[in-house]
Amino acid sequence: MSKVKLTINNNGSVRIEGDFEIVDKTGANYDLQGRDVVSICRCGMSKNKPFCDGAHNGNFEHEAVAFALPPKK
């Protein structure tokens, strides 16, 4: 099984690449039309949630810098 890669973009979306599925709270699949790359909204302004439509441009700020989480409890 290949890894799925999530990239947290500065001032924008989460880009998902690889072999993945996206489901809603009932477990129903979103029809991704064969895509192996999508971007998920983080700002809450997209009209196409959960997918990014670029509405964040100039309205959302977050510098994505990796860090270590605390140890699991």
Q: Which two tokens stand for residue 28?
A: 């129903």
Q: What is the pTM of this model?
A: 0.88
37, part of any domain? yes
Spatial separation of the C-alpha atoms in residues 19 and 2, rounded to whole Å = 7
Residue 23's domain comprises: 1-62
1 pLDDT band, cuts 50/70/90, is low
Domain-embedded: residue 68? no
Is residue 67 assigned to a domain? Answer: no
Is residue 71 domain-resident? Answer: no
Beta bridge partners of 17: 5, 37
Structural domains in the chain (count): 1
> 72 in a domain, yes or no?
no
Would you say 51 and 35 are in contact if contact means Cβ atoms under 8 Å apart? no
The answer as to whether 58 is a domain residue is yes
Q: Quick one: how far is CA 15 from the chain centroid?
A: 5
pLDDT band with cut points at 50, 70 and 90 for residue 2:
confident
- Identify whether 73 is part of a domain: no
Asked whether residue 15 is domain-assigned, the answer is yes
